[in-house]
Chains A and B, each alone.
Chain A
Amino acid sequence: MRKEDKFNRNFSQLFEEAYTPEESPLEDALKRPGDRYKDFEFYREGGIKEISICLDSRTGRQVAMARMKKNSDVDRKEPFIREARINAALQHPNIVPVYDVGLTNNEPWFTMKFIDGQSLKEIIQKLKNQEESRFNNLADRLELFLKVCDAVAYSHSRGILHLDLKPDNIRVSEYGDVVLCDWGLADVIPSECDEPLLEVCSSTTKDFDEMTLDGTVKGTPGYMAPEQTGMIKERKGKHTDIFSLGAVLYSLLTYKKAFDGDELESILTKTVNADFLKPSQVSDNHIPFSLEAVCLKALSKRPEDRYSSVKELQQEIRDFINGFTTEAENASIMKSLHFWVKRNRTLSIISAFALLLLLGLMITSIINLKLAETNAKEVADKLRIEKEYHMRINKGAAPKFYDRAYVAYESFQFDDALNFCNSAAELDESLQEAWKLKANLHFIRQEFKAAKEAFKRAREESILTEINSEYVQIKANDKKSLSTKQYLELITQLRDNGLLREFTNLIHYKIFSEISLDERIEFCKGAVIVHNPHMKSLKFKFNREFKHLDLSGNTDMQVALCLQNFPAASADFSYTDISDFIAFRKQSLNALNVAHTSIYELHSLENPELRNLDISHTGIGNLRGLAGRPLIKLNISHNAVTSIGHILQIPQLEELTIHKGQLTKSELYHLPKTIKLIEVD
């Protein structure tokens, strides 16, 4: 037996290792081909995204990767990337950093820092269960809260609103990292953001609709602000985040939600009315009066009653921590004294003589306090001046905003248009077109007062301004809406004055706003008549159970644009005088009957879900528009169709109705046997 017979075969693994060059393992790791991210481990999921922890093989660190959930709507791609871009624009120690954004197999993803720790929600839950935690101490919780405020104040300074602030979105590591995550609902204030971010400004409703996927309002009930419930008309802004910060502070003080309940509806109602119990009423914790006051102010119903900036809110908390009295407490001299003594306890107990001396000192310190206040005012003034200067510099950008506003207006995206318009007018107050468009937009929203103001700035005088002034008298409060009757009167007036674009705008605005079915039916009934002035009466039936809309037999109805977006599943418009399919846009129709109408082409037909279509007795002669559709039943009898060509391109067709002699024998020969042919006289 030679020694070679006893060789340890395991050594050969070293041979291979020796030649997978170890000389520069770090450089080679970078050269190594293959996927950069590996070892995925599911972490958590949210509305449209799923977070996994994975290894970044280039940097060798663990990162969190957000990807869209499987089966997500393709429409969500843009908002998803938008979130990544907004988040990436924010570089702050208390905001989760985005490392990379990319596409793999056409699916977008982004990676960010993985914070190994717990969410504030979990921390609060532990505190509530009276488990030991390093946040048992209020001062520690406030310190954490201040870090969150830092993050929000910073993002506001960059013109970005978070709009979904809640403990669940705040992550805390063992080593003091406090980061704000999930910028999925964030929005950009166009006039305040950096130019590159303008790219992510929403300009179509598809990008950024008011509702989340599941149809609820955007935000998290319990932490959202009244203006996010969709129940009142109020613009979202920095004040929205300030409200949510107030709700977070509330939870930090009491371990409970400010707005809670079993049903969503009741939480939302409470939120709208800012109806909540004071922290001291719901908690056994000792809640300092000054902090409660801060909480109440931040949670005010009216935005103007809340703090005007995060910094202001933060300063009050800092003042509390430093033992100063907060402004919210309406400091009395005694309070000041109390805190002053607290800070100088040792001194205060030395002797009466010391006390006397103290009194002297105290007076000076109060004077100092006043001085500090004056100083603060001066600083604020300086900031304001700086901001104004900044705005002047940005004047040149105003036309750009106006252009975007105009494009949005042209495509009936009125909310976006107003947003851009406001920014344009804010940046350059002398830009008259912007004011004029702004006036128009306010008019569309029936905010007549604001419209009047804007018309004045635009130095515009026309029939429209007259009508507007008239309606300021009728409805002075811009936050209220017109009744349907008033609305119909208004559009009639527009029609009669030849203001056709305004007429269309108002119809469009109404039918694409969130209105109840009753209101919609009432409005449509009226609007069809207004649109077809020669009509004497209207037959209008809607079966709510089957969602069947029946306007058949209205032989003198030529236009029915107001029925766009009507929640019908099937529609019968036979024996009417309509000449195109535009009325059916944004209706999810399965079945449509337009027999005996003046329609002569299919060009305007959208409704991709249609299964059953009756176009008999019309002027339609070309079926190209039906190719590739999922139609099951089709009636083309007594129209101008004579060729089978495009019918063969309707893959799922089961039943075809024609009149006798419409198609020649040889044409019929090519018809698949799977299609049932019905011949009528």
Chain B
Amino acid sequence: MSFSITLTVNEVARTVTLDDPRVTLLDLLRERLDLTGTKKGCDRGQCGACTVLVDGRRINSCLALAISHDGAQIRTIEGLAKGDELHPVQAAFIAHDGFQCGFCTPGQIMSAVGLIEEAQAGADPERVREGMSGNLCRCAAYAGITRAVLDAQERMAGAGRKDAA
């Protein structure tokens, strides 16, 4: 049995034929669409490395079956920068040393973009830390990550660029 699904990934419509219903959204992005920026860490919903935005919301793509997301709008790390111009969250992670090895970084950044979009944390560092608790960093760059998220959020609000998320 094969299934054809259509996803809009980083604003491009992609139709994929699946010959197996077990494919996760994470594996579809990496193996079928060559979008390997989204990382496979634990593959069990515990580390957050696979975080992407689905219909504007951050989720763990490792626990999402691709077949059940037919028609969804997906945004991945590859869809953030505009050419050579980094997204404000990407720029802030560099400015604040929000990573060391970098493996968790795409998930951290997508989670941060989602968090800023959700607008629940505000400028409270404790709420930002709690709001980023679904993303583990084994290098423990957490202090830089928190500063990066707060800084990016402020810049995006200041620039009136909420829609950039």
Say whether A associates with B. Answer: no
Query: Could you tell me which B residues sit within 8 Å of A by CB distance?
Result: none
